[in-house]
Structure 1
Amino acid sequence: MAAYESAPSTPRRPTPDATRRSERSRRAIYDAALALVGEVGYRKTTVEGIAARAGVGKQTIYRWWSSKADVLLEAFLNLGERAARDAGQASQAIPDTGDVAADLKAVLRATVDELRDPRFEAPSRALAAEGVVDEQLGRIFVARLLEPSLRLYVDRLRAAQEAGQVRADVDPRIALELFVSPLAQRWLQYTGPITYEYTDTLVDYALNGLAPR
Structure 2
Amino acid sequence: MARTTPDRTRRSERSRIAILDAARELIGEVEYAKLTIEAIATRAGVGKQTIYRWWPSKGAVVFDALLSASENPEGGGIELPDTGDLGADLRTVLRATAAEFADPAFAAPLRALTTEIVNDPDLAAVYRERMAEPMRAAKRRRLRSAQRAGQLRADADLDLVVDMLYGPLTQRWLQRSGRIDAEFADALADAVLRAFAPA
TM-score (norm 1): 0.75
Counterpart for residue 150 of structure 2: 164
1:95 deviation in Å?
Answer: 1.8
Match of 2:69 among 79, 82, 89: 79
SS in 2 for 1:176: helix
Counterpart for residue 187 of structure 1: 173
Counterpart for residue 6 of structure 1: none
1:13 and 1:140 map into 2 onto residues whose CA distance is 42
Tell me which of the two structures has the higher relative contact order, counting C-alpha pairs closer than 8 angstroms and 6 or more residues apart.
2
1:106 deviation in Å?
Answer: 1.3
For residues 49-74 of structure 1, give each alpha carbon's deviation from its aligned partner in whole angstroms, at most 9, with x where no partner exists: 32122221223223433433332221
Counterpart for residue 26 of structure 1: 16
Report if aligned partners of 1:35, 1:123 keep a CA contact under 8 Å in 2.
Answer: no
SS in 1 for 2:84: coil
Counterpart for residue 109 of structure 2: 123
* Alignment coverage as a number of residue pairs: 195
Counting only pairs closer than 5 Å after superposition, residues 42-53 of structure 1 correspond to structure 2 as 44-53=34-43
Q: Which moved more, 1:72-81 or 1:17-26?
A: 17-26
TM-score (norm 2): 0.80
User: Does 1:155 find its partner at 2:146?
Assistant: no
Counterpart for residue 60 of structure 1: 50
Counterpart for residue 176 of structure 1: 162
Q: Which moved more, 1:30-39 or 1:50-59?
A: 30-39
User: Does 1:105 find its partner at 2:96?
Assistant: no
User: Does 1:92 find its partner at 2:78?
Assistant: yes
2:112 and 2:50 map into 1 onto residues whose CA distance is 25
Q: Which amino acid aligns with 2:32?
A: G
- Kindly report the root-mean-square deviation, in angstroms, between the aligned alpha carbons of the 2 structures: 3.1
For residues 143-200 of structure 1, give each alpha carbon's deviation from its aligned partner in whole angstroms, at most 9, with x where no partner exists: 4322221221111111111111111111101111111000001111111222111111
Report if aligned partners of 2:26, 2:40 keep a CA contact under 8 Å in 1.
Answer: yes
Structure 2, unaligned runs of 5 or more: none
Identity over aligned pairs, percent: 50
Report if aligned partners of 2:172, 2:180 keep a CA contact under 8 Å in 1.
Answer: yes
Counterpart for residue 209 of structure 1: 195
From the superposition, tell whether residues 194 and 164 of structure 1 become closer, same or farther in structure 2 (CA, over 3 Å). Answer: same
1:139 deviation in Å?
Answer: 4.2
